[in-house]
Amino acid sequence: MSEASVNTRFLGLKDVKVHVGDTGGTGRPVVLIHGWPLNADSWAEQKPALAQAGYRVVSYDRRGFGRSDKPGGGYDYDTLADDLAGLLEELDLRDVTLVGFSMGGGEVARYIARHGQERLHSVVFAGAVTPMMMKSEDNPDGPLDEATAQEMSSQLEADPEAFFDQFTREFFSAAGTTEPLVSEDVRQQAIEQSRQADKSAALKAMEAFGTSDFREDLKAITVPTLVLHGSADATVPFEGSGQRTHAAVPHSQLRVIDGAPHGFNASHAEEFNSALTQFLSE
């Protein structure tokens, strides 16, 4: 599928304009919600595969990221979920599958908690930050500690270029290694997407996905659910996230891609797309 076959435009929501890509058509809609600090271009391997399978593919840049407006606030998950709700309403999308990657998984959970499931057919948590990243006394299995979170924030604040270079290496590398499982061109594209993020938005969104608690949100999910994760994810480790999300949504399906890093929708695109399209067809 060529880029020209995707209609892109800015969609005005309550207080922000977001950049949306839409393949159109009459197929059942699949809405792709990107990870941090990337944008909708990070779904390059999924959009053509889903469109070819007959789905209407909608992707958008989260506020503060990519080509969307970059306001001073609104990077908490309540607001981000409301942005998603506004997009579904403006496009009048129904029978939707929401696919939330990494940070985007939090938007899926919070959307359901705040807006229900009337418009939804199913949901996918792909390498998602749910149920809660930050380790604490009441969340001892959280995969993120305060010292690491503070170090990430300080590094991004001090030198974004150096931070994004290191972050994308881990993003695409299997845990315990430093060799990205994608081409250098793909990694550079991810760095370029990261540069498009507003620095303040990136810092506030980092705090949001690091500290937000989705444990109660997950309990509200009754639609068909797929938890998709890489076994070698060093950024959002499976044991502290995907495994716990699967346990929190008892009816969910679990698919773990062996040896896959966090950025597995690029590094293991064929397996990722196969798992996703199989779930969508059920």
Catalytic residue numbers read: 102, 233, 262
* CA distance between the termini of the chain: 24
Q: Is the dihedral of CA 223, 118, 206, 214 positive or negative?
A: negative
The helix (H) or strand (E) run that includes residue 101 is strand 96-101
Rounded Cα–Cα distance for residues 188 and 70 (Å): 23
Rounded Cα–Cα distance for residues 121 and 148 (Å): 37
Q: Distances in Å between the alpha carbon of 116 and those of 63, 110, 123, 149, 238? A: 22, 9, 12, 31, 27
Q: How many CA atoms lie less than 13 Å away from 138 in the CB half-sphere?
A: 4
Q: Distances in Å between the alpha carbon of 272 and those of 111, 204, 248? A: 24, 29, 22
CB 33 within 8 A of CB 98: yes
Rounded Cα–Cα distance for residues 268 and 150 (Å): 30
CB 120 within 8 A of CB 96: yes
